[in-house]
Chains A and B, each alone.
Chain A
Amino acid sequence: AQTVTQSQPEMSVQEAETVTLSCTYDTSESDYYLFWYKQPPSRQMILVIRQEAYKQQNATENRFSVNFQKAAKSFSLKISDSQLGDAAMYFCAYRGTSGTYKYIFGTGTRLKVLA
């Protein structure tokens, strides 16, 4: 069975600085998708960025980028130029490409942004 692990329950970053959130996963599939979701205090979850496992190039969305290491089964999120609005829970998620396409989420990392 697939698992997703986020080992950092909480992280802090100064405004305008860079922070990296870690995620590791376990799977026997060769093709899959990985996601980072943001859940602000209002609790509506939104997609931040996604990575397709067959693509070697790391995904980038404005200030958000990932470091995808397929062999190490690692998928970290880098937030550059952190803003107060980035404060939220961040969840790493995995989705396979066979079976029911179920999403599996990690336990989350709470990001605090300090002014």
Chain B
Amino acid sequence: EAGVAQSPRYKIIEKRQSVAFWCNPISGHATLYWYQQILGQGPKLLIQFQNNGVVDDSQLPKDRFSAERLKGVDSTLKIQPAKLEDSAVYLCASSLAGGKVNEQFFGPGTRLTVL
């Protein structure tokens, strides 16, 4: 079974530029999560999708971050414009459903460096 795929693995940009990350969850997983993991901290949930609907985006900085999950499959997370404090690893995870406690499977992450 293929795991959660993310691309790119690494990205370096200058502040005020825009960047986009892509995630393809495990086939059949209805729930998709985007986390931000700043160095030395635990993952922080940015947004959670159930199919193509947003379940929780309370910690998403909506003035610069956006995310979509078209057709309830893969998802993109965008930052525009980027700030220095956005340097982090962006993790995507998926699970079978949000209502039950199904295991989250994580992708390898995208390491973003903002200069």
Q: Which of A13-21, A56-64, A78-86, A100-108 contacts B (4 or more CB under 8 A)?
A: A100-108
A45 contacts chain B at the CB level, 8 A cutoff? yes
By a CB distance below 8 angstroms, the chain B residues around A47 are: 103-104
Give the residues from 91 to 115 in chain A that come closer than 8 angstroms, CB to CB, to chain B: 91, 93, 95, 100-108
Cα(A76)–Cα(B37), bound, Å: 22
B101-A33 in contact (CB<8A):
yes
CA distance A6 to B40 in the complex (A): 12
> Smallest CB-CB separation from B109: which chain A residue?
A43
How many whole Å from A91's CB to the nearest CB in chain B?
Answer: 5
The answer to whether the Cβ of A44 comes within 8 Å of any Cβ in the partner chain is: yes
Q: A108: which B residues are within 8 A, CB to CB? A: 40-42
**Interface membership of B51, Cβ < 8 A:** no
Would you mind naming 6 contact pairs between A and B with Cβ atoms under 8 Å apart? A43-B89, A43-B108, A101-B55, A102-B56, A106-B42, A107-B40
